[in-house]
Amino acid sequence: MKILVINAGSSSLKYQFMESEGGEVFAKGLCERIGIDGRLTHKVPGREDVVREIPMPTHNEAIQSVLDILVDPEKGVIASTDEIAAVGHRVLHGGAAFTESCIIDDACIEAIKKCIPLGPLHNPANLMGIEACQKIMPSTPQVAVFDTAFHMTMPPKAYIYAIPYEYYEKDDVRRYGFHGTSHRYVSARAIDMLGNPAHSRVISCHLGNGSSLAAIVDGKVMDTSMGLGPLAGFPMGTRSGDVDATILEYLMGRYNYDIKEMLNILNKKSGVLGISGVSSDFRDLDAAAAQGNERAQLALDKFIYEVKKFIGAYTTVMGGVDAIVFTAGIGENSIDLRRQICDGLEYMGIKMDAEKNNVRGKEADVSAADSKVKIFVIPTNEELMIAMDTAALCGK
């Protein structure tokens, strides 16, 4: 089934047009500067990229520009939009209402709107993408795939916060977790690579500019590092990860910050950028550290240290681990970072083969022959997961 996958942001919109069986990508691209002026970048395998300046005052024009380029006689890949069987939308926050993907109807849209306070930056943009597609493609089925849904199998002891229980009951304050579609895809591949055992314990390490870990037992999430929002966990590109809440009170009092400015600092000025003062890009940090920049090295050391702590904690709560998976931009491509994370974990049966680990961006078993725990590099494919869910629901 040919599926159009949409990931709408506040001023951008990513898309992939693909086959749900096998994952062949016919075309993909990006609409950016929505609401400013508008630019479309369109890519078809084996062809030269197309870049067009197109007025995009709203997401409606962005979606229309995507459909227009897909059917363009010279640059397109289909003769008619009728060939688009369905549209799958990435939606950040589904709250407790969504434990799986669903066909979009009025009730679904209302439930997504109710989750806006939980995902104030992303859910409104996701809704704009959905509503634009509904307006322009009213007869085409639409499916919502939630970033939080895969984590909804967590037990209460993992998702509850130790604050007054009434905030959970009345305000839905709990751990939700994110990158769920990625964790779901790579953990399923890991279980397959393990030979589909009756019992499996996988730690999925989604390491990118935004990063999270998940502890997955028999294909179901037991715990994950992000929380109510995507700020929690370990240091990321610009996000702080877990911090003592007293820091907020202290800095807000000392510098007269309001909560909005404090959260802006934690979300956009912290993480490895905040420690290093150099960059949020780990490649820049590697280069700076190699030239003797001590703060860049400290940022890398802190990141590695915190990831190791989560691996140790998750191994404990799962009663062991059968596989560790590295995925996303850093996890798939940073040979040295993977090695440093696994260094010192030999006592847990985690032993990497340095030669096998010399791989970037492709699926590989990089564990040593005598490692008791498998170490996999698995490129994530969230778009394929969205396309497969969309096809499965629309096929019904």
147 included as an active-site residue: yes
Q: Please enumerate in sequence order all residues whose Cβ is within 8 A of that of 150, keeping only pairs 6 or more positions apart, or say none.
A: 177, 180, 181, 183, 184, 221
Three-class SS state of 212: strand
Q: 192, 93, 233: which is closest to 152 by C-alpha? A: 93
Residues pairing with 19 in the sheet: 2
Three-class SS state of 145: strand
Per-residue tokens: 346 = 């030999």
Residue for token pair 């979606």: 63
How does 144-173 read in b/e, with b if 16+ C-beta sit within 10 Å? Answer: bbbbbbbbbbbeeebbeeeeeeeebeeebb
Per-residue tokens: 248 = 């907020």
Q: 117, 183, 123, 199: which is closest to 150 by C-alpha? A: 183
| CB-based contact 332:360 (threshold 8 Å) | yes
- Kindly name the residue from 49, 105, 147, 322 that is annotated as catalytic: 147
Number of Cβ atoms within 10 Å of the Cβ of 390: 27
Element (H, E) at 200: none
**Catalytic sites, residue numbers:** 147
